[in-house]
Every structure is written in C-alpha cells, then in structure tokens.
Structure 1
Amino acid sequence: MSTTQKFVFFALAATIRLLLIYSEYQKIIADRVEVSTALNSWKKVTEGVYLREAGIDPYTGDLFHESPIGLVVFSYMQKYLSLCMLCGIFVFTDLATAWILGATAYRYTSELIATEQKDIQKRKKESNDEELSTLPSSMSIPASSVTSSALLVPSAYLFNPYVVFNCVGLTTTVFTNFLLSAALYSMINKSRLCSCFTIAVLTLQGLYPITLMVPATIYLARNEEGKNKNFPYGNINKTIAMFIGILIALYYLSYKVSGSWSFLHSTIGFILTVPDLRPNIGLYWYFFTEMFEHFRWLFVASFQINVGLLYVAPLALRFRRDPMLLAFSYLAIAAIFKSYPCLGEVGFYMALLPMWKHLFPHMQQGFIVSCFLLSCTVFAPTVWHLWIYSRSANANFYFGVTLAFAIAQIFLVTDVLFASVKREFSLRHGLSREIHGNTGKLLLE
C-alpha cells in the first residue's frame, strides 16, 4: 500500500468520526450505556475537573474514577483546548492507535513466519520421516501475510463500529486503547522500559492490564535468551522490579497530586468492590442487584478471581511460545468479565484478530459468533428502549442480551485458542486438510 493510499485510508476513518461527532447523533451515542460507563464517561471527567478547580476533592463522593495523573492531564486539556481541538485529539489518538497496531501486526507476522521456518528446519533435521518434516502448503503462512496483516489490523480497528462509537462518544477508553497498543508494540520490540511504563500506567487506571506483564516478561526473557548462560530465560527479576518500581512511583506521584490516598478507593477500590450497579454490557450489575447482601463479598471475590487470576497461569503455560496470542487472550478475558466493560474495549481486541488469520481455517464458530454479535448489537438498544422508555420489558430482557453478548465473545476467544492448538498439533504431526490431493470439506446433509 502506497503512502497516498494510506493517507486516504486514514482520512476516511477520520472523516467518519468527525461527521458523527458534529452530528445530532453524538449525544445519543455518548449517553449509551454500552459506550459510556462510570469509568470512561467524559461527563464524569468534566465534573471531576470542575470539582478540582473549585477546590473540592473529586474523590470524596462516588462521582470521579480517573487516576489523579489523568485528572491533571484532562484538566489541562479542558482548560487550554477548545471543543473543536478536543474532538481532534480524540480522533488523532484513535488514528495513532491504528497506526501502532499496524506496525505491531507487521512485526509480529514477520517474526511468526521466521520462527515457523526455523521450527520446520529443526524438525527436518531431527525427524527421519519425510512426511512429518514437510509442512503442507495449505497450512503454511504466506509471506504476503506480513503486508496484509499490517493493513487488515488497522482497518479492523478504524472501521469497527464498536471503536467508532467509542471515539464518537468521547470516552477515555480512546486513550486506554492507545496505551494498550503502545504496550503491545513495546512488547514485540522487546523494550523493557516502555513495556513496564505503559503497563504500569494502565494498571494505575484500570487494574486488569497488570496481566499483560506476563507476555511482556516472556518477550523480554526470550530476547535475552542465550546472552546469559547462567540464566537462559532472561533476567525476569529485573523486568518485574522495574515494573514494580515504576508503579510505586506512579502511585506516589498520584498521592502528591491529590494530597491524600483517597483516590485508591475511587479507582482500584471502585473496580474491585463494584458499588455502581447501573446497567452495562457486563455481567456484574444484574447479578449483584438480585443477590442477597450477606453473599455479596463472596461473589465479588469469585468474580474478580475469575477475571484477574484464574486464567493467568494456565494460559501462560499453554501459550508461552506465542506471547502476543497470550496478550490477546488476557485482553479479551478482561473485556468480557471485568466489572465495567464497554464496546471500545471489545472492539480493540477484535481488531487484533487479523494477525491470526492463518488460524481461521481451523476455527469452527465464526458464523455463529458473527450472528450472535450482530444480533446483540442490534437488540441491545432496542431492548433498552422497551425497558426504560416504553415500560413494556424489564431488566431480564436487557441482561439476556448482555449475557448472549458475553457468551458470543467467549465462543470467539476459545475458538481462536483452540484453533492455535489444533494448528500446532497438525504442524508437529504432519496432518493436513487434504484428502487424495484435494482440500477436505465438511458438508452437512
């Protein structure tokens, strides 16, 4: 793709966002519970900035949930930038995120092809069976995947309706996605400082991104493999110590900015305890609304362990050879099971899917997942209108849509991970999808 084509490509995405931002639909999109939550709403940011300028601690009530560092940045943005420039910042940040994701996809696909070729050569030397040592042409990753992934990933991000709504609604998830893309790019480039810093900033704000330290540590350890004979897996302690040091420094800076530690209750405490039960696309709000109060803390702990701890070690052990896929799985799990999810986070991890398009032939749930996602996207605002405005439905209807949406995402993530396992098995054991020289097909009669 030429530079002119890229410019037109990004200009079209920017135009779509700007037209929607300056249209009558902007307020409708910004008020949607699927787009704006208690953690990312720009209205909450505006109110927090106003309280700070009025000399009132914005963390005293249950109103503001951004970090103190974010509060300072947003204060300067609202003070020195006009509304037009502010909207431009959101659009520019979204475009920058897409560009970084494209660069990440290019680098990752290149490394994936190189690693696979090395593994093939290694198996050819170790195996006496020519059939096991030969990679079927239908399963090899073509060299053209490098350029196509670098194009498809930013396309999937820029023109994903979930991401577009996220930007048009002026949610702070736009900046979170930018930091996530920077973290992934730092991982693939084996930059310890940038990886630790970006993940620490994300952890300060959203807590759950701390799981990205696992794939980041694996990448950095792999980079140092062979340099240190006494510790061939790299200096893991150095990476962890740097991350903890940066995180402590950020918390101390936040304390100096806010003047107290009250922000902890309104940021991390708010995420962990889930006090705000207004509807969103997550699973917490309905469950804890219906629950008896004396069971609340038991199930809060169960839900938080499910999203933050339960899958970290098993997935890390199984997908340690592909840290980027591991990072994708952590991002997807957090977007599904976190306490206050939004569509922008779902759109972000879905935009990464073209990096594994070589796994698509091994996936089985693509059509079902697509239908579920499309149906839920249409039904969610419809059922919301019936519940809140027409009073002809109730909370069960809306929760049914959010539950189906979560199930569709679970099917998607498990399908991708199982496809990776099946392809790895096929490569190791010389299996192919060819029958008598023709590509095998599964037909339903």
Structure 2
Amino acid sequence: MSLKKSTKNAEVQEISSKSTTLKALLLVTIAALLRYAIMTSKYQSIIANHVEVSTPLSSWKRVSEGSFLFSKNINPYDGDLLHETPLAIKFYKVMLHYVFRNVHLMFIVFDLGTGMLLYLAVKKYAFEFQQHHKDRKKFPEDVQKYLPSQDFAQKVSIYVLMGFLFNPYSLLGCIGHSTMGIHNFFLSLFIFGMIYGSVVVSSFALAVCATVSFYPVILILPLSIYFVKEYKSNTKAVLAIVNFVTFLVLITIYNSNFGKDFSFVKNVYGCILSVPDLQPNIGLFWYFFTEMFDHFRELFIYSFQINTTILYLVPLSIRFRNTPFVLTVALLFLISIFKSYPCLSDLGFVLSLLPNFVHLFPDCQQGFVVGVILVISSSLAPVLWHLWIYSASANANFYFGVTLAYAIAQIFLVTDILFAQTKWEYSLKHGKDTKIDGEDGVLSLE
C-alpha cells in the first residue's frame, strides 16, 4: 500500500514539475514579446534618457561612445566619459557584433537569462527548504500551518520568475538598455552557482560583478558561509575565496593590458568610490555632496562608503550565519539602497527574490506601507524631474525628497524581512503562542 502511495506521489510531483516548466517557458515567451514591443516603440528613447534608468555607470550611450573611441585607438579613460572596465567593453562588443547583432535582442536575452537562472536557483533552494521542514512533528503545532506545502518549490520558483520578468523596475531597465541588466545576469549566475554548490561558477561570476561594480565584493562572505553551512565543506569555502581572488587578479591583469595601462582604475573604481559625477539619480549621494563643503567631502565619502560596504557586514553575518541566503539578499538590498549610483534595475533584481520568503509574509508588518511609498515615489520621480529641469517650476529639493522616500521604503522592507526571519526562527523552536509568566508574550523589535 505504501509503495503504491509513494509511486503515486512521485507521479504527481513529476506532472507538477512538467507543468511548472511549461508555465516558465510561457512566461519567458510573453516577457520577451513585451520587451521587444516596447523597445521598438517611440517610448524606448524616452525611458533610456531618464536618470532613474541610466546612470553614468550604466548608460549604454557611454558604452557605445567608449567602444568607438577604443576602435580609433583613443583612450576613453582620458576624460570623464566611460566608467566601464575594458573587459566589459570588449564583452559587449563581442556579444553585439558576433552573437546577437541587435542591441534590443542582446538586452532581452540577458534579461531572460537572468530570470531563468533565478528560477532554477530558487527552485532548488525552495525544494531544500521544503525538505528541511518536511517532518512536521518536530515543530510546535501552532506553527505547522505556516510550514511549506508539497508544491512550495514549484510555486515559489514561478513567483520569482514572474517577479523578475514582469517587475516594472527590471522591465524599464531592460527597455532603457541599462547595462545594470547585464551585470544582474552575472549576479544571478553567482546565486545559481552558490545554491548548486559550484565553487568555480559562483566565484567567477562574483569576481566579474566585483570588478565592474565593486560593491558585490562583500558577497564573498555569505558565499563562503553558504558552503560551510549548506554543503558542510570548509574546503569549498576556502576554494571559493581563493578562486575569487585569483579571478579578480586575472581580470585586473587583462583590464590593465597586462600591467601596461591602469588608467581605467580612476574612471571606474575612482568614480564609484569618490563620486565625482553628481548627476542626479535615485540614490542618496548626489544631493548630499552637491551641498557639501569641499573640506568635509573626504570625511563623508569615507562615512558613506563604509555604510554601504562593511558597516552592516559583520553584525548581519553573525546574526544570520545559519541562513546565508537570507544574508545574501539582505546585503543585496543594502547595496541597492546605499551604492553611489543606483538605478531601477538594482531594486528590480532584489525585489524579485522576495517570493523566496513567502513563509515570512504573515510576520511582516510594513508591506502595505512599503508598497504605497514605492508606487508613489516611483511615479513622482519622473514628474518632479520634468518640473525641475524642463518647466523650472520645482527645484532639487523636490526630486531629492522623492529619492529619500524611495530609499526609506527599501530600508523598511529589508528590516521587515529580517525581523520576520528572526520571528520565524523563534516560532520554530517555541511556537507562536508563547506564555511568559502566564501571559501572552509578544516578540517585538525595540
């Protein structure tokens, strides 16, 4: 009887898996058609010119101009035009001229590739999470209804795929030809390699991300923790760090033309760290340093960059050392909020990972507030930009107020998720209805 039941369950799971795969392919097809339809319309150039989509570090126009200068043997790093590495420019050129031959197609394929990598990675992660909570008898009775169901992995993976492909932030970034969309492909490759236990893939993808955008270098810590906790392998953790450093060195050697020219360092990493270009964007740096007295600038540059990189790294790594994927998502959120030149694609990527934590949603308290703030700030940003720059009926304070609300919404969201994770871990041990001295106890964030 039990053999027949297990066989039937296996058949049901196989049918469910095939159905999920068909849904994923259908979603990818619809997303591709949607992107291509808008890209070939008059709205593409409008979207591409918005500062929320293209920053000095993610503008395709700058990449095209820099590539042209390279072809004429002119160093594009002599001025303040190009902020991409030589390897990135070479990669874009090869992809565009020898693989895709169409810039729209290139951005669409990389965007869809990002979605599929996240789909495959999340499917495995959610299945392992589901298996970890399979024995419901180990947990308190009042928690069991919140535990993942049998189709948890299939549902979550589809939600993540939909969350990325049809997320307005990711969609606008792809349509506007923001190179951050291609960077996100390697970031998703890093997550894919980490969850599947591939040291080479994860460390290589992270090295590519770190050499282009610098901030992802902090993700080496959750990567090594993941291999230790999930794969019980200190060897993999050490190899990941060694491979990461090795790939960093090799990429830097190539970028410097084998040690002959390091002019790119100032334009790429110097621009990210010292923030010389104060063109308005949806970040927090530009307005602050526009108003800053020059003799205070260095102090606050250090303060802002430390806040983005190492300030939260150690305490979060200690607190969430047993859930390294949660730690990874939290650090991605912090990078999206506090990096010097953020764009919509940054938020679109991390928002698409939230369905992984659908089991935490009942404990989240700020979802409605965050949603409202994001909708209002995202809608008002282009309006206030037009009023400020074109109509001259507003000023920089209006636009910065919107970007400040945009950042606050993200801060509320990440703290809400982390606190819900803490409550989830507590509930699995002690239950949700806990008595303290005979009275109902309440877990709150003080």
Alpha-carbon distance in structure 2 between the residues aligned to 1:273 and 1:16: 38
Partner residue, 1:420: 421
Q: Which amino acid aligns with 1:202?
A: C
Structure 1 position 138 matched with structure 2 position 159 = no
Query: Does the CA-based 8 Å contact 2:76-2:82 persist in structure 1?
Result: yes
How far 1:57 moved relative to its partner? Answer: 0.6
Greater Cα shift, 346-355 or 167-176: 167-176
Query: Does the CA-based 8 Å contact 1:93-1:175 persist in structure 2?
Result: yes
How far 1:135 moved relative to its partner? Answer: 6.0
Partner residue, 1:321: 322
Output one character per residue of 1:114-140: Cα deviation in whole Å (capped at 9) or x when no partner: 23347x67xx5xxxxxxx754632221
Query: Does the CA-based 8 Å contact 1:223-1:234 persist in structure 2?
Result: no
Query: Does the CA-based 8 Å contact 1:282-1:339 persist in structure 2?
Result: yes
Query: Does the CA-based 8 Å contact 1:199-1:210 persist in structure 2?
Result: yes
Query: Does the CA-based 8 Å contact 2:117-2:192 persist in structure 1?
Result: yes
Alpha-carbon distance in structure 2 between the residues aligned to 1:2 and 1:117: 21
Q: Give the RMSD, CA atoms, in angstroms.
A: 1.9
Q: Which amino acid aligns with 1:15?
A: L
TM-score (norm. length: structure 2) = 0.90
1:4-403 alignment, distance < 5 Å: 4-80=22-98, 85-117=102-134, 124=138, 133-134=140-141, 136-223=143-230, 225=232, 233-234=234-235, 236-256=237-257, 259-403=260-404
Output one character per residue of 1:80-102: Cα deviation in whole Å (capped at 9) or x when no partner: 4776x221111111111111111
Could you tell me which runs of 5 or more consecutive residues in structure 1 were left unpaired when the two chains were aligned: 125-131, 228-232, 434-445
Alpha-carbon distance in structure 1 between the residues aligned to 2:50 and 2:330: 27
Q: Which amino acid aligns with 1:423?
A: W
How far 1:427 moved relative to its partner? Answer: 1.2
SS in 2 for 1:402: helix
How far 1:79 moved relative to its partner? Answer: 4.2
Q: Which amino acid aligns with 1:186?
A: G
Query: Does the CA-based 8 Å contact 1:102-1:151 persist in structure 2?
Result: yes
Output one character per residue of 1:423-444: Cα deviation in whole Å (capped at 9) or x when no partner: 11111112249xxxxxxxxxxx
| Change in 2 beyond 3 A, CA 1:401/1:213 | same
Partner residue, 2:5: none
Q: Which amino acid aligns with 2:355?
A: P
SS in 2 for 1:58: coil
Alpha-carbon distance in structure 1 between the residues aligned to 2:99 and 2:229: 44
Query: Does the CA-based 8 Å contact 2:333-2:350 persist in structure 1?
Result: yes
Partner residue, 1:438: none
Q: Which amino acid aligns with 1:318?
A: R
| Change in 2 beyond 3 A, CA 1:104/1:285 | same
Query: Does the CA-based 8 Å contact 1:135-1:427 persist in structure 2?
Result: no
| Change in 2 beyond 3 A, CA 1:289/1:108 | same
SS in 2 for 1:267: helix
How far 1:215 moved relative to its partner? Answer: 1.4
How far 1:242 moved relative to its partner? Answer: 1.9
Query: Does the CA-based 8 Å contact 2:197-2:231 persist in structure 1?
Result: no
Percent identical among aligned pairs is 43
Q: Which amino acid aligns with 1:168?
A: I
Greater Cα shift, 252-261 or 241-250: 252-261
TM-score (norm. length: structure 1) = 0.90
Alpha-carbon distance in structure 1 between the residues aligned to 2:208 and 2:100: 26
Query: Does the CA-based 8 Å contact 2:83-2:267 persist in structure 1?
Result: yes
Aligned residues: 417
How far 1:236 moved relative to its partner? Answer: 3.8
Output one character per residue of 1:409-433: Cα deviation in whole Å (capped at 9) or x when no partner: 0000100000000111111112249
Alpha-carbon distance in structure 2 between the residues aligned to 1:240 and 1:6: 34
SS in 2 for 1:137: helix
Output one character per residue of 1:180-216: Cα deviation in whole Å (capped at 9) or x when no partner: 1110011111111111111011100001111111111
Query: Does the CA-based 8 Å contact 2:24-2:161 persist in structure 1?
Result: no
Q: Which amino acid aligns with 1:64?
A: L
Alpha-carbon distance in structure 2 between the residues aligned to 1:294 and 1:367: 42
Alpha-carbon distance in structure 2 between the residues aligned to 1:87 and 1:336: 28
Partner residue, 1:439: none
How far 1:71 moved relative to its partner? Answer: 1.3
Could you tell me which runs of 5 or more consecutive residues in structure 2 were left unpaired when the two chains were aligned: 1-18, 435-446
SS in 2 for 1:138: helix
How far 1:169 moved relative to its partner? Answer: 0.6
Query: Does the CA-based 8 Å contact 2:96-2:106 persist in structure 1?
Result: no
Alpha-carbon distance in structure 1 between the residues aligned to 2:347 and 2:247: 28
| Change in 2 beyond 3 A, CA 1:77/1:191 | closer
Alpha-carbon distance in structure 1 between the residues aligned to 2:99 and 2:258: 22
| Change in 2 beyond 3 A, CA 1:82/1:420 | closer
